[in-house]
């Protein structure tokens, strides 16, 4: 019997990659127009119509700076939407794979963050995702939270596309060089989520809980930008200037260190981080 995976948020970066991925299972990929996870009535109808065997939630409010002013919307999607999904998954007795973020941490740790480190988000976006994690852990036994970082792809809005656009408009760019993290392609995140879903659907044992996954190695936004323009080519006259976070103030405060330790997912599930530079080549 063919088993099915319900994918929410198919219009986003990771959701898009999930929707077009190859899988031995039936992928039911729905964007926000087809399924608003904050709408319990609509969600009930989708679950009843498709009867999925597992749900992968890629739906999220991801506008980090706008979230500081659109607080209600951020929590409605990122926390309340997850609450809805968790309840329907509990009733249907199916697992939920939930995407989360490095922004649940405050960046004060020296070294990479492990899954067991205390969360302390600095902004509204991080807080809404952190509350979703706490709620999911308390309400649904079969859940897996996958924290990732600095997502980029050929679709949607992201740092890679912004850099290429600005690089064509300006002679010089100041890029933050004191925030450390790991750029991660949406494609590799989608592959990991589907690998985990497939593991469950083929009756393999899964240790539920929180996992970290990102590409490697760690870098800064400046280091990332430098590699973007190197690979893209044609920007020889563009000057890149390393600057500090204080020189580029934003509405939302961001962690100076959001490097994630991915050893658990490698040990427990056999999933190794990919190179973000190689993933960047695919995207460009």
Of 103, 113, 125, 200, the catalytic one is: 125
Tokens of 249: 């103030």
Q: How many residues does the chain have?
A: 284
| Closest listed residue to residue 18, CA positions, set 149, 170, 193, 268 | 193
> Does the active-site annotation cover 125?
yes
Cite the active site residues: 125
């Amino acid at each position: 019997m063919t088993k099915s995976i319900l994918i929410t948020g198919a219009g986003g970066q990771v959701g898009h990659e999930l929707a077009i991925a190859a899988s031995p299972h039936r992928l039911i990929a729905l964007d926000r127009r087809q399924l608003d996870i904050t709408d319990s009535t609509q969600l009930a109808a989708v679950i009843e119509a498709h009867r999925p065997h597992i749900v992968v939630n890629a739906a999220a409010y991801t506008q980090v700076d706008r979230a500081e002013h659109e607080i209600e919307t951020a929590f409605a999607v990122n926390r309340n939407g997850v609450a809805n999904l968790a309840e329907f998954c509990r009733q249907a007795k199916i697992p939920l794979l939930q995407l989360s973020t490095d922004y649940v941490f405050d960046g004060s740790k020296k070294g990479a963050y492990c899954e067991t480190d205390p969360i302390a988000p600095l902004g509204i976006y991080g807080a809404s995702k952190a509350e979703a994690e706490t709620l999911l852990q308390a309400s649904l036994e079969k859940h897996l939270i996958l924290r990732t970082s600095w997502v980029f792809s050929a679709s949607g809005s992201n740092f890679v596309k912004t850099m290429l656009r600005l690089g064509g408009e300006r002679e010089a760019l100041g890029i933050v060089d004191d925030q450390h993290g790991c750029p991660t392609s949406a494609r590799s995140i989608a592959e990991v989520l589907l690998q985990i879903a497939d593991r469950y659907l083929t009756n393999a044992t899964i240790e539920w809980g929180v996992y970290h996954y990102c590409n490697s190695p760690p870098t800064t936004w400046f280091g990332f930008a430098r590699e973007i323009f190197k690979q893209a080519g044609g920007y020889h006259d563009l000057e890149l200037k390393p600057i500090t976070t204080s020189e580029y103030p934003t509405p939302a405060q961001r962690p100076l260190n959001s490097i994630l330790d991915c050893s658990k997912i490698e040990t427990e599930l056999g999933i190794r981080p990919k190179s973000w530079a190689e993933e960047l080549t695919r995207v460009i």
